[in-house]
Amino acid sequence: MAGNKKGDSKAKYGNKAVIGRILKHIKKYGFLVGLSFICAAISVAATLYAPILTGNAIDLIIGPGDVDFDGIKAIIKTFIIVIVITVVAQWLMNIINNHITYNVVRDVRDEAFCHLQNLPLSYIDSHKHGDIVSRIVADIDQFADGLLMGFTQLFTGVVTIAGTLIFMMLINVPIALVVVVLTPVSLFVAAFIAKRTYRLFRDQSETRGEMTSLIDEMVGQQKIVQAFGYEDDALERFEVINDRLEKDSMNATFYSSLTNPSTRFVNSLVYTAVGIIGALTAITGRLSIGQLTCFLSYANQYTKPFNEISNVITELQNAIACAARVFELIDEKCEIPDDTDAVVIANPSGAIKIENVAFSYVPDKELITDLSLDVKPGMRVAIVGPTGCGKSTLINLLMRFYDVDSGKIDVDGTNIKHITRQSLRDGYGMVLQETWLKSGTIKENIAYGKPDATDEEIVEAAKKAHSHSFIKRLPKGYDTVITEDGGNLSQGQKQLLCITRVMLLMPPMLILDEATSSIDTRTEIRIQKAFNKMMEGRTSFIVAHRLSTIREADIILVMKDGNIIEKGSHRELLAMNGFYSNLYNAQFAH
């Protein structure tokens, strides 16, 4: 089975398959491609006409004192016109090729990023974030470079080869046939090397993604790195990947660079053959000196595109390898779409029923088994237990970030699988232990879930969340710009902003996952009062390690190994003298 999958992957992301997909994207711009090809043909035709003019000019120089200057002047005027036509055609072709390339790249990047929004959370959780970023940014940039070179030089090269052959046939068929016979040798050498460089460029691209992932990880957690003295280990990891990238890059560049000298050698043989046979033909009088000069010029122009195309093939192999990685991301299975008859719930009452739910992240490693719970509207449900017991997993299931393996979860009597994800998640307000803020103003971050909120609503929410005072102390107050993930704010301030964000929305259901873990005790007491007010009449799930924050919960669920082992009020659980009692006494023992 594994072998078949590997074979399928090779077929799906092999050279031909990837090129086919690229051509589908290019097909959209067929008119521009045709226009580019016409410009290439005009440019090549004008370029190839120049040697004929040169040959004719040479033939007008008959001998000493016997030169047709009037004829040469006319040829020079024509030559200037030909040069102007060539320059204009190449300029237009470059503009068109740039337009095609960057439109195709934009389309692929849009498709990749849009698809990323629809990928299940399990994909994001199980893949390095830096590698995903590398695919959408670096790999697509490499793809753009190769595609642009391909359009610019491949079109011109192919038309030049075809054009020179036609012109050579018109001058002398036997010599032209010699060129045609030797041509496949050059093509065979280029194709032989190109096939082997694809895998090398693929390795280079994957290693580059690995490096991006490590850099992203180290930059994002630089404080932790320095606090725990991890700099040397980070440097060691970086050097290992960097050395591997250097080797992969050297191998890819070395083997791909063999194409140019190999094809140049073959092309020199072609030029030599044309020179010798042409000279012998000229001696017999079947070819004029001007025609021989013209023929040698064509032979040189004929072989030149092979060298350029060999460089293009090298870049295209790199581009195709990078495109394959992007297409792999695009082909990842999307999140299971909402049912066609999925309902939109607006202002749910908050009645949540969990029946015989089983779930595991890894198929052969059980986490939650046969979990059942009936939550009435407006209830405050606290979830406690040791790390890894399934508290946050339960939250993921309620929000449908992950789907249950078996059993069901109902909201207001409807299975959440039959509710649109958007409306389900709109019904929840979440404050997590891990804060997330975007680059932008404080105001924009607070209004993230409600972009049309008024300034008065934002300030009111900030006052309720006790973040108004510190916001006013910032240089520009609510218009202060913060960096990505709020890097210029304290952890507590970032968490206060996340709480403010939920305060602004005031959703019918709340999830507070260690929502006050980074806030000082004094502020926490005030926020707890605000939370208590916000939770009135709202179904609330509170995940907490500090058990002092959940005494007022209507029901406390004690989880262990994915199961609820105890449930009841704070007093009831203490009276049981069980697991919860031991946890509580451990925290408050003197």
* Residue 403 to residue 30: CA distance in whole angstroms: 43
CA distance readout (Å), 196 to 192, 201, 317: 7, 9, 9
Higher pLDDT, 425 or 285: 425
In terms of domains, do 514 and 489 share one?
no
* Residue 152 to residue 90: CA distance in whole angstroms: 9
Predicted pLDDT of residue 589: 55
Question: Residue 274: which domain range?
Answer: 2-331
In three-state form (DSSP H/G/I as H, E/B as E, the rest C), the secondary structure along 335-401 is CCCCCCCCECCCCCCCCEEEEEEEECCECCECCEEEEEEEECCCCEEEEECCCCCCHHHHHHHHCCC
In terms of domains, do 73 and 206 share one?
yes
Cβ-proximal residues to 197 (8 Å cutoff; 6+ apart), any chain? 252, 255, 256, 314, 317
In terms of domains, do 499 and 511 share one?
no
In terms of domains, do 374 and 520 share one?
yes
Give the lowest-confidence range in 21-25, 121-125, 262-266, 396-400.
262-266
Neighbours of 35 (CB within 10 A): 16
In terms of domains, do 472 and 372 share one?
no
In terms of domains, do 320 and 364 share one?
no
Predicted pLDDT of residue 367: 81
Predicted pLDDT of residue 545: 67
For the ranges 165-169, 465-469, 551-555, the one whose mean pLDDT is highest: 465-469
- Residue 423 belongs to a domain with what CATH number? 3.40.50.300
Contact between residue 403 and residue 339 where contact means Cβ atoms under 8 Å apart: no
User: For the segment 501-528, what is each residue's pLDDT rounded down to a tens digit?
Assistant: 888 888 888 888 876 666 677 767 767 7
In terms of domains, do 363 and 494 share one?
no
In terms of domains, do 352 and 456 share one?
no
Sign of CA dihedral 500, 502, 504, 508: negative
Question: Last residue of some domain: 306, 331, 356?
Answer: 331
Predicted pLDDT of residue 456: 92
Question: Last residue of some domain: 280, 296, 331?
Answer: 331
CA distance readout (Å), 287 to 45, 71, 169, 203: 23, 21, 13, 53
Q: By C-alpha distance, which of 18, 108, 103, 23 is closest to 317?
A: 18
Query: Domain count of the chain?
Result: 3
Give the lowest-confidence range in 155-159, 176-180, 181-185.
181-185
Predicted pLDDT of residue 590: 44
* Mean pLDDT on 462-469: 87
At 45, list the tokens.
Answer: 């035709």
* Residue 559 to residue 193: CA distance in whole angstroms: 60
Say if pTM beats, i.e. exceeds, 0.85.
no
Q: Helix, strand or coil for residue 551?
A: coil
Residue 2: pLDDT over 50 = no
Q: Helix, strand or coil for residue 63?
A: strand
In terms of domains, do 29 and 64 share one?
yes
Task: Give φ, ψ of 250 to 5 degrees.
Answer: -65, -45
* Residue 559 to residue 544: CA distance in whole angstroms: 12
Higher pLDDT, 50 or 73: 73
In terms of domains, do 68 and 182 share one?
yes
* Residue 381 to residue 568: CA distance in whole angstroms: 10
* Residue 39 to residue 86: CA distance in whole angstroms: 9
* Residue 153 to residue 134: CA distance in whole angstroms: 27
In terms of domains, do 222 and 240 share one?
yes
In terms of domains, do 140 and 224 share one?
yes
Q: For tokens 């993230």, what's the residue?
A: 448
Q: Average pLDDT of the chain?
A: 80
* Residue 483 to residue 250: CA distance in whole angstroms: 37
Q: For tokens 């011109």, what's the residue?
A: 156
Question: Last residue of some domain: 454, 476, 505?
Answer: 505
* Residue 2 to residue 102: CA distance in whole angstroms: 38
- Residue 299 belongs to a domain with what CATH number? 1.20.1560.10
The percent of residues in the chain predicted with pLDDT above 90, rounded, is 4
* Residue 312 to residue 156: CA distance in whole angstroms: 12
First vs last C-alpha separation in the chain: 59
Residue 417: pLDDT over 80 = yes
User: For the segment 76-101, what is each residue's pLDDT rounded down to a tens digit?
Assistant: 888 888 889 989 998 998 898 888 88
Give the lowest-confidence range in 90-94, 313-317, 469-473, 550-554.
313-317
